[in-house]
Structure 1
């Protein structure tokens, strides 16, 4: 007799998942809103191990974001404070409330000794000097019309004084500065006075002779001519103080 085929049991019906039970939604919540994501994870049918791992990772992520946000806020506060200090009125010193601002130091003359004149002039005018005059440091050396490269030996007023019209004493390139202003570079040569015709000829009361002339007895002694007797070259009455006819005998 024919037997009917056995009836198969129907497939078990899968429970319907709501939107908040979907794996993608829960993972997004764990990253974006850790407290909500942890709560949703524990409402799923995940295994106990998966729920614990998701909870730990989400909590760590939440703490990292929380503390890093505090550091960023402190850095932002520092930037705001620096910006406020930078935007303070130019030239004004930072003051503490209730404490008067300290006055700024008055300008003073810089030290321009040893500088070329052009650089020294710029430095002095930059310090508030209206007029800078130039003089040659040696009295017997005239100041060249072009003296920008002459060096500064002395400045007046001196460095550290209040700005005022300044005078610079200069020396030519290659020359050294003297110990003080008003110095001659070359030794002064003293010319002996020209003897009169009578003194040169040794006549008319001079008693001298020849063309020799000595400025004084020291010069005659240095020349080895002293004493000079009347009638000898170089004799003149001005050198014979006692009038005994012998000059420079003492």
Structure 2
């Protein structure tokens, strides 16, 4: 056979024809969308070997990365979950107040009655009884004496203060206020003036006045209030001291002008 005309015996061979599946655009698209198919077509393409290796490595890494980033399928655990049953909320029990559980005792009205009827509540609350007149002492038995004043007043809680009552003997009217003097002291008679001595050559001898006795001093001592007691440097004044009176002892404990 003879070579065709116009052909050179040393001319290069023509490049192989490229099929439609060897198109670069198709291969690159499959390398991104579906790497296994894209890699297979890349090795059948007319690319250089180095290009095929690079395409295979990049597409393989992209395929593995897409598999790792996929979220695991959610398991249906609703069937396994126990159904929560709403439990009824407990009804709060009202706490009783002290006024509902127990009654606070109050002070009854004792004025006008005999001390025998008032003695139980007075002694039960550590109270005390005094004579309404400061110059009158209570006898050993004074259950028939009448109550003139009380502390605290009627209706007040007994626990707020220690009960105190002031008594007077039956037949004796109550004073206007506690610690009033019943028997006013009788004024002492004024002694007549001594006769004038006759003039003599010698000066008359004047007899010294007798010193007042302790009883007279105690009777003459009188303090209008605690300020007078403190001014006389006699505070605190106790029962039996000169000038002591129930008017100066407000709490009735036998010691006046304590503060």
| TM-score, normalization by structure 2 | 0.36
* Structure ID, larger Rg: 2
Query: Relative to total residues, which structure has the larger helix share, 1 or 2?
Result: 1
Select the structure with the greater relative contact order (CA < 8 A; seq sep ≥ 6). 2
